[in-house]
Amino acid sequence: MAQTITEKIFSEHVGKKVFAGEIVRSSIDMVIGNDITTPISISAFNLSGATKLANPDGFSIVLDHFIPAKDIASANQARISRDFAKKHNLKNFFDEKDMGIEHALLPEKGLIVPGDVIIGADSHTCTHGALGAFSTGMGSTDLAFAMITGGNWFKVPESIKVILSGKPGKYTTGKDIILEIIRMIGVDGALYKTLEFTGSTIEHLNMDDRFSMCNMAIEAGAKSGIVAYDDVTKEFLSDKNLARKPKIHHSDADASYCQTLEIDVANLEPVIAYPFLPSNGHSITQAVKDNIKIDQAFIGSCTNGRLGDLKTAAEILKGKKVHEDVRLIVTPGTQKILQEAYKLGYMDIIIDAGGVVSNPTCGACLGGYMGILGDNEVAVSTTNRNFVGRMGSRSSKVYLANSAVAAISAITGYITDPR
């Protein structure tokens, strides 16, 4: 029988052909924890009586939500992970010395490899499907089980085939494509399914676009998002010292899908997700008509904190000034991205325009620090969620958008069409 790419990845790991709906025990290539979730996993690990990791090189801890520590509680939380990493001589431990947002940092390090099965105690672990891997978020105790055994139980997900056609316009990005998909099917439209992105548009999407699309698959309820390995993937990985040998899989032409979605990307405008759901999508044309005044523009997060986002922002901000009533906060995904952006002059442009640049952190995205919204404040943000109180006060509002929209809106003071 024909198989999807997801079924093939699990089949390779299980050692026999498996299909959607089957419950399997699979080995895991990379287990990922962060400063919020890992201490719970460590507690469960210790309570089990375990003394060593099943696959130390397949376990990564990235301190990225509240690092550098924002308060005593976050400092103590981070110390639990630091002590564990030191005790187990963990090779893949990342804090202030080599910091980054986990879903940007690990691909950069070559720790995410095509054909992998990956889990992380963070819902946006699905980001890594952009490299042709199965990658999903699980709970902290699930993480502990994988730390102890090297594997875990999965229900092989059904797949929704997303067929994208046409070349996107200059300011239509992967972020807009995934926001349009979520608008079409809702926040539970892909519940426990894989969103498999295919079609002629894929060749026009760089890795930044693909990471954004897979990152927000969870916002449609999906278990994972995935893009098959191609020349774009190959180019991205060409300078990486990969942790494992890639295993390349592609879906069979006659594979079974539970649903098919078709989108003409050539006619897709930038999409704005209004409060308070990522599925509340509207065209940029409608947003301009609605005359939405903003207090803050944010460019960053595991969705849109990559070099391409900073390039776009710099191109729009060059020679301009951030509106006097607006705060522009820019958070690069990793230190390497930050360094490269400085070398290319992007950061000088952003700072000269009146933007502020933070260290790599998830802080602003989840309303933790480095960009919290006050009462009744409005933000246009390149993050992935706009729930009530997501970025601060419960009376604040977050409009999700791509980096071009965020940058031009920072200049005008209103959500604006970058075209």
Report residue 38 as tokens: 């890992």
Give the pLDDT confidence of 139-163 residue by residue, as tens digits: 999 999 999 999 999 999 999 999 9
| Residue 169 burial (CB count, 10 A) | 15
Q: Which tokens hold the place of 192?
A: 């426990």
Q: Is the alpha carbon torsion for 217, 327, 318, 351 positive or negative? A: negative
Q: Closest Cα partner for 320 from 346, 358, 354, 356?
A: 354
Q: What is the pLDDT of residues 350-359, one digit of tens each?
A: 999 999 999 9
Quick: pLDDT tens for 158-211: 999 999 999 999 999 999 999 999 999 999 999 999 999 999 999 999 999 999
pLDDT band at 299 (very low <50, low <70, confident <90, very high): very high
Q: Provide the token pair at 172.
A: 């239509």
DSSP 118: E
Q: Which residues contact 190 (CB under 8 A, 6 or more apart)?
A: 160, 217, 220, 221, 222, 223
Asked if residue 361 lies in contact with residue 64, where contact means CB atoms within 8 angstroms, the answer is: yes
Q: Is 260 left (phi over 0), alpha (psi -120 to 50) or beta?
A: beta
Q: Is 132 left (phi over 0), alpha (psi -120 to 50) or beta?
A: left
CB atoms within 10 A of CB 410: 31
> Quick one: pLDDT at residue 96?
93
Distance, in Å, from the CA atom of 149 to the CA atom of 59, rounded to the nearest integer, reads 12
